[in-house]
Chains A and B, each alone.
Chain A
Amino acid sequence: MTQLALVIDLNVCVGCQACVTNCKEWNTSGVAGPMVDQNPYGKDPTGTFFNRVQTFEVGEFPNTETVHFPKSCLHCEDPPCVPVCPTGASYKRKEDGIVLVDYDKCIGCKYCSWACPYGVREFDEQQKVMKKCTLCVDRIYDPKMTEEERRPACVRACPTSARLYGDIHDPDSEVSQAIREAGGYQLMPEWGTSPANHYLPRRKTRLRIRVDEIERADNPLKIDEQLPRPGTAEPSLDDVTSW
């Protein structure tokens, strides 16, 4: 069975918000209807977004690291938001595991948002229904698009390729390999929701070189700090002579 998901590499995300912008642009003009902002040029602008990029500081000065953290619906394999929905508007597709909201059935009771521990569902104040990431379901199956274009808008926008997209149930997919080989993990595993989206941790590239690997153990300078005097008849090429 297919489970489409995003794998987000925290090691390369630079927090540029391009995924946020492209997500909003695609979905506000797509079949899901507008995601209208309220008071966009006023004092307290607000609006519905499917995707947010947050920033955390890990550690204590001066040993700190800035972690940019993109956050959208994780398309849980056991989604707690789905069974609580009284109308069946919230559902998980069997064929590809995407969790969706039927905007024509939603009554806007907001109960599903209470049942989501990740806070990734946002209520649309204009349409008065609950909205969430669709994994660009209107892109990824569009036969008019090229293979390259048939990916979520956020994935297409990412300039550092921090967002991978694919089937996490296919062991040979790019995302499954990334999860397996780069230590992909799930958010809040304590609730047993089994999120499909995974995150790849920050990685440090460290060279492990011993001192004797960069210094010659038999360097004559180590013995008496004096260069040996080569015999005048000896050849003068290094590593050929005794010194």
Chain B
Amino acid sequence: MHPAFSVIFLTTLIGVGQGLFLALFTAQSYALFDLLPQQDGHTFYAHGSALALLFLIGGLVASFFHLGRPERAWRSATQWRTSWLSREVIVLPAFMGTVFLYGAAHLLDWKPAIATLPGGIVVDATVALGVVGTLLAFLLFLSTGMIYACLRFLREWHTPLTVINYTLLGSASGFTLAAGFAALVAPELASFFAGWALIILLLGLVARVASLVRNCHLKPKSTLQSAIGIKHPKIVQKTQGFMGGSFNTREFFHGRSSLFLRSLKWVFLIGVFVIPASLLLAGFAGAAAEALLAAFVVQYAGLIVERWFFFAQANHPQNLYYQSVA
């Protein structure tokens, strides 16, 4: 497939936003059960939510560049019964609204008690919003991942690992950003986030390597024989029917060498996992805020490469029909 930067930025940016929100609510949940010191809502949760919202808006804006007719985008919410893309279109604004309300409730200190847990722990409105936001964040990871995983012809994507990777890599980048953000405004939380970021990053590494190994051993289901229905071991295309390009030659080929693709794999493995993990480890041990912020910047750049590779690696069966110009 030809990687589109609009989709690369959409998926990576909303991943950071979702992960950051999950990180914020994880900290609040810990604080709720007195496992972490209480944070001042005004500076930490409100500003953190605003930051998450910025990333989500960035992703939403990027997604519009993918559309030929962005003015009709509202129509894409109608087919949620069958289309994962439609589901994503519904869940993303719902999640953004929840993040906004969560941040606003913290900013305005609007915390009416909703319920009291046994043990005297008071569940207020921010906790309820946080739970809803967490559910929507995971629903959004599921929708985004399933957009790719549900296409059974694109066998590199048609695996639960696609959803797992979107979830883990998005969460890892969000927790890394949370660690950097906390280092600036709430230093006592920095190592908490850095520790969680490390754990999620390691899980992400396992899942991403698993998908790389799986894709290495994929055998194409469609062949030139099944594509044109002629049972002869030796078939070559002499012409695809036109000499200039077409949508089919532009959209489904990445146009780079396999060497380029192979080297990108190592670039993103180092950029997403190795460098950020070492920087997070340093941050966990108490290094300066710069280390944690650098971890996020390097990881985000690595994620762009990772997403580019994810798209380029998928080999569409239609490419069998477009192999020769004459």
Contacts and interface: CB of A to CB of B under 8 A. Distances in A.
Interface residues of B, number: 58
A60 B82 contact: no
A58 B245 contact: no
B256 interface: no
Interface string B303-326: 000000000000011110110001
A199 B230 CA distance: 10
Contact of B236 (A56, A89, A108, A122): A56
A62 interface: no
A81 B62 CA distance: 24
Nearest to A122: B247
Contacts of A83: 79, 82-83
Interface stretch (B68-76, B171-179, B210-218): B68-76
A65 to B, nearest CB: 9
B228 A56 contact: yes
Given A20-B241, A56-B237, A57-B235, A108 B68 contact: yes
A120 to B, nearest CB: 8
Contacts of A125: 247
B147 to A, nearest CB: 7
Interface stretch (B84-92, B123-131, B187-195): B84-92
B222 interface: yes
B101 interface: no
A54 B241 contact: yes
Interface string B234-273: 1111111111111110011000000000000000000000
Contact of A45 (B72, B86, B230, B244): B244
A1 B296 CA distance: 58
A60 B233 CA distance: 10
A140 interface: no
Contacts of A111: 83, 85, 147
A117 B314 CA distance: 13
Nearest to B245: A46
A114 B67 contact: no
Contacts of A60: 234
- Which secondary structure characterizes the binding site on chain A? loop
Nearest to B153: A117
A228 interface: no
Contact of A54 (B72, B73, B89, B240): B240
A64 to B, nearest CB: 9
Interface string B216-235: 00000110101111101011
Contacts of B77: 86
A26 interface: no
Given A84-B82, A86-B85, A54 B321 contact: yes
Nearest to A17: B241
B122 interface: no
A88 interface: yes
Contact of B251 (A55, A113, A201): A113
B66 interface: yes
B223 to A, nearest CB: 9
A52 B72 contact: no
A115 interface: yes
A199 B226 CA distance: 12
A109 B321 contact: no
Interface stretch (A173-181, A187-195, A206-214): A187-195
Contacts of A87: 72, 75-76, 78-79, 86
Interface in A53-72: 53-60, 66-67, 69, 71
B232 A58 contact: yes
A76 interface: no
A234 B261 CA distance: 92
A55 B239 contact: yes
B66 A109 contact: yes
Interface in A78-136: 80, 82-89, 105-111, 113-119, 121-123, 125, 127-129
B316 A52 contact: no
Give 9 nearest A-B pairs by CB, closest first: A108-B68, A119-B318, A128-B68, A86-B76, A83-B82, A52-B241, A86-B86, A87-B75, A45-B244
22 contacts: A48-B246, A53-B241, A55-B239, A56-B237, A57-B238, A59-B234, A66-B238, A83-B79, A83-B82, A83-B83, A84-B84, A86-B75, A86-B83, A88-B78, A113-B247, A114-B151, A114-B316, A119-B316, A119-B321, A188-B222, A188-B317, A201-B229
Given A52-B242, A56-B230, A87-B75, 20 more contacts: A39-B244, A46-B246, A49-B246, A54-B321, A58-B235, A59-B232, A84-B83, A86-B86, A107-B69, A108-B67, A108-B69, A110-B68, A113-B251, A116-B318, A123-B247, A125-B247, A187-B226, A188-B227, A189-B226, A201-B230
